[in-house]
Structure 1
Amino acid sequence: MCRLTPISAESGPLPQEWKCLGKDCEENVYSRMEFILNDARNRMPTGSTYLMENDEEWLRLETKTDPKAFQAQAEWSGIRPGMRVLDAGCGPGLTTAIIHRMVQPGGEALGIDYSPTLIEYARTKYADTPGIRFETHDIREPLREFCSFDAVIVRFVLEYNLAESERIVNNLTPALKKEGIISLIDLDYNCLSHYPLPPAMESRLVDLMHLLEEKFNFDPYAGRKLYACLYNAGYRDITVDMRAHHLIYGPPKDTDLFNWLKKAEVVTRKAEHLFKDYPGGRSGFFEAFRAFFNDPSRFTYTPVILCRGIRPQDAHPSVRRCRAHS
């Protein structure tokens, strides 16, 4: 029998999909993750600034990813069989695994992330077939050993790197082949579109987003900046699309509830002082937000913006040896 419980009880029960899956019970994933977390904790890059860093981030990222929605985004980005694709900021590897399936036959997918924890999880769960692999790398630094990709996908990465967004795109550009495609995918007006929010909760939420921008390098408005980012970098044939990422009404799904409560739990703990005069303090705000999100009359949405372009003609890769293909 599965005996899964979240590491933190505050964000609520695990989504139904993770409770028990017969022989493939995800209890085994938790057992593996305990070892991976202990092994990787001390290998996190010094000065890590990832806003959502916590021991359950692998689980939040897995459960919130809609495979059909991501596949549609990847198709729009131009991913097709035979391609060699870089998933930059791959997290726990699910998106890389989807890309790997899409580029068959004959294609390859490489997922890179700065987190050794997430890369070890991705290797454990997904790197069991030829043509898919995972490497630890901080894309805020040059990619000296990764090159010759037909496409690079950067999804939900720039929002966590407000100050380094342009640098990240510049670092990834030399990794593309001459006619290679980059696709930037990010949210806009992130975490701010809920109705009907009580005025006190709404004002704290706005203050919280301002604090995350100023102190934690988070960009709630990353999506609207993607076109300018590629245009200023010299990318060609830029195309933009916008879709609904969150569109939540009525009783929330387990996955949405877990995702939003985990986000609220992690970020409010970083800003306890904002809630000193809120009834009940931070815990009072969290419980009020939980009640609001569980209210079936609540409406929540977040737009996702997709922006793709072809590598600049005057971009010259630095001289380096590519790491051997898998």
Structure 2
Amino acid sequence: MTGSRYLMESEEEARRLSEQARALPVHGHLSSTGLSAGMKALDAGCGPGVITSIMADLVGRGGSVLGVDINQQRLEEARAHCAPLPQCSFVQGDIRKMELASDTFDYVWCQFVIEYLAQPEGALAELIRVTRPGGRVVVADVDALGLQNWPVSPELEEGCRKFVAALAAVGLDLHIGRKMFHLYRRAGLEQVRVQLAPLWVVAGAADARLITDWRQRFATLEPVVSPVFGGTSGYQGFCEQYLALLSDPDALKYAVLLITEGQKR
């Protein structure tokens, strides 16, 4: 997201986000960072509502979960997905400036959003503002998304560096996960802890879901990234090399998720 534009937006994005959420052990991540029955929780950047529904299961009918997203279409999808869950509600808003009361939520969750923001400090400050004293703020985000692979040719390694640099130039930080601990400490949060979890681990050929996920990423990001490869042809060559690596039965591929949690004073 740069300004109010989400770089990954496409007709297939709701499907990709939903499948990604279902592939992760989100229930365990939420419960291990403090979400429990009866809490008033916020899903900041809720997308199509898959994680919101998991949060609703954890808080139960005695709690509540509010989903906030900037995209009206995602909110419509989230409302449909969570329709059987009366403890869920949704509002449209930018997590950098939410029209919500301060000191409101027991637990605030934000996954795969901060990476798109040019000024993560401001977004974190807003998440803290709406959390009640003693409540928990949790950010789950990527670190070096999909670039920890072996074996990798020097050509593909250089292509990966270009890919990351092109995204960084428009505000998408694929190394944001490692930075959140420092930002939490500077923001004054207490009991700051970090969990390292796999986003995926592929020893051998990747499954169809991950291949499709990366094809969609590459297609959506082409207007932003292709100039650093000298145009569409060079960019597509890089993409096919990366996809071939994902399909290589003799190669290891993995990506890291860092989950940072802290308590508001």
Q: Aligning the two structures, in what range does the TM-score lie when normalised by the shorter sequence? A: over 0.9
Deviation of the 1:222 alpha carbon: 0.7
Aligned equivalent of 2:245: 292
Instruction: State the Cα distance separating 1:174 from its structure 2 match.
Output: 2.1
SS in 1 for 2:147: coil
Unaligned segments of structure 2, at least 5 residues:
none
- In structure 1, list runs of 5 or more residues that go unmatched: 1-44, 313-326
CA 251–67 in structure 1, closer or farther in 2 if over 3 Å, else same: closer
Map 1:82-101 onto structure 2 (within 5 A): 82-101=38-57
Q: Pick from 156, 165, 168: which aligns with 2:120? A: 165
Q: Structure 1 pair 144/68, CA: closer, same or farther in 2 (3 Å)?
A: closer
CA contact 1:116–1:136 (8 Å) conserved in 2: yes
- Higher fraction of strand: 2
SS of equivalent residue, structure 1 residue 219: coil
* CA apart distance, 1:67: 5.8
Offset, 1:105: 3.9
What code does the residue aligned with 2:43 have?
D
Report how far residue 219 of structure 1 moved. 0.7
Contact 2:166 2:224 in 1 (8 A): no
Q: Residues 290 and 240 from structure 1, CA distance in 2 versus in 1: closer, same or farther, beyond 3 angstroms? A: closer
SS at match of 1:82: coil
Query: Which consecutive segments of 4 or more residues in structure 1 shift more than 3 A?
Result: 142-147
Q: Distance in 2 between matches of 1:311 and 1:146?
A: 12
Determine if contact 1:127/1:134 at 8 Å carries over to the other structure: no
Residue 249 (structure 1) shift: 1.8
* Structure-2 separation of matches of 1:272 and 1:73: 35
1:287 positional shift: 2.5
1:194 & 1:146 partners in 2: Cα distance?
Answer: 43
TM-score, length-scaled by structure 2: 0.92
* Separation in 2, partners of 1:108, 1:72: 19
Normalised by the length of structure 1, the TM-score is 0.76
Counterpart position of 2:68? 112
Is it true that 1:247 corresponds to 2:201 in the alignment?
Answer: yes
Distance in 2 (CA, whole Å) between partners of 1:46 and 1:173 is 22
1:63 to 3, 16, 19: 19
Q: Where does residue 50 of structure 1 map in the other structure?
A: 6
Distance apart, 1:277 and its partner CA: 8.0
Q: Which amino acid aligns with 1:51?
A: L
Identity of aligned residues (%): 29
Equivalent residue number for residue 159 of structure 2: 204
Q: CA deviation at 1:299?
A: 1.4
Name the CA distance, whole Å, in 2 between partners of 1:207 and 1:282. Answer: 10
Matches within 5 A, 1:1-326: 47-66=3-22, 69-145=25-101, 148-161=104-117, 163-214=118-169, 216-276=170-230, 280-312=233-265
Q: Distance in 2 between matches of 1:105 and 1:167?
A: 32
CA contact 1:113–1:136 (8 Å) conserved in 2: yes
